[in-house]
Amino acid sequence: MALLLWQTLKEAIHAYTGLSPVVFFTALALAFAIYQVVSGWFASPFDDVRRHQRARSSAAEEAPPIPQPVQVGEITEEELKQYDGSDPQKPLLMAIKHQIYDVTQSRMFYGPGGPYALFAGKDASRALAKMSFEEKDLTWDISGLGPFELEALQDWEYKFNSKYATVGTVKVTVSEAETASVSEPAETDDGDAHVTKQEPTVVDKNLETPAESDVKNE
């Protein structure tokens, strides 16, 4: 039956087009490909909008919902490291000037693989002020920074306060606070000049001068 239909189709193609079935179907496929290309040139811009909307909606359905910020209270730096994004079940936290912020909503930036991932789970105040990615600057200690660096840090702080929820503070030990508060020796107006303090001269009243001794002997 199938063979009979194929034979009838070949005869019909040859009768109406004068082409063999192979040439006919090749030309048909080529015409369809050209139609797809040309129709793409004149596609409506609304088609692109609809495609983007469908892509966003599907991505939103696949992405897990962002949990509400949870207050962690006062924690140590060691405890803060647990919230560096390595555990997806925990919030993503980082701190500026001892204030802890929940940055879970920006996991693409501060989470694993993000451009600022090394700041997560830390108080990186010094690194943010200096825009440094060096390990030695990943600390809350901002002593010795210049006015421009402190201003940059303040801009970061304003941004975080307006965008992220504050969920706690970093506990600083007494030894760390004392280490950071040690100031450098103050310089005098003369730069390296040192002022030598003169010790007062003490005169023993029991000692007699040579003149007084002569007077008494006369």
Radius of gyration of the chain (CA): 41
- Whole-angstrom CA distances from 126 to 6, 132, 215 are 80, 8, 77
Determine the pLDDT at residue 197.
45
116 and 34 within one domain: no
Alpha carbon distance 165, 168 (integer Å) = 9
Note whether residue 32 is domain-resident.
yes
Residue among 153, 35, 37 nearest 98 (CA):
153
Determine the pLDDT at residue 211.
45
162 and 76 within one domain: yes
Note whether residue 30 is domain-resident.
yes
Contacts of 85 (CB under 8 A, 6+ apart): 92, 107, 110, 111, 112, 117, 120, 121
Note whether residue 215 is domain-resident.
no
12 and 97 within one domain: no
Going residue by residue through the chain, which has 218 residues, state the pLDDT in tens, using 9 for 90 and above: 767 776 776 677 667 777 777 777 787 778 777 877 776 666 555 555 566 666 666 554 555 667 788 899 999 999 999 999 999 889 999 999 999 999 999 999 999 999 999 999 999 999 999 999 999 999 999 999 999 999 999 999 999 999 999 999 998 775 555 545 543 333 334 444 443 444 444 444 444 444 444 434 44
Largest pairwise CA distance in the chain: 166
CB atoms under 10 Å from CB of 153, counted, come to: 21
86 and 147 within one domain: yes
Contacts of 101 (CB under 8 A, 6+ apart): 93, 94, 95, 160, 164, 165, 166, 167
94 and 156 within one domain: yes
CB 112 within 8 A of CB 86: yes
Give strand pairing partners of 142.
Answer: none
Alpha carbon distance 88, 104 (integer Å) = 10
Q: How is residue 137 written in tokens?
A: 């600057």
**HEC readout, 147-167:** HHHHHHHHHHHHHHHHHCEEE
Based on the structure, what is the number of domains in the chain?
A: 2
- Whole-angstrom CA distances from 130 to 62, 92, 122, 138 are 37, 23, 16, 10
Determine the pLDDT at residue 83.
94
CB 157 within 8 A of CB 125: no
CATH number at residue 121: 3.10.120.10
Range of the domain at 4: 1-42
85 and 20 within one domain: no
Note whether residue 58 is domain-resident.
no
Q: How is residue 27 written in tokens?
A: 């030309």
146 and 102 within one domain: yes
CB 142 within 8 A of CB 150: yes
Antiparallel, parallel or unpaired: β 165-170 and 99-102: antiparallel
91 and 19 within one domain: no
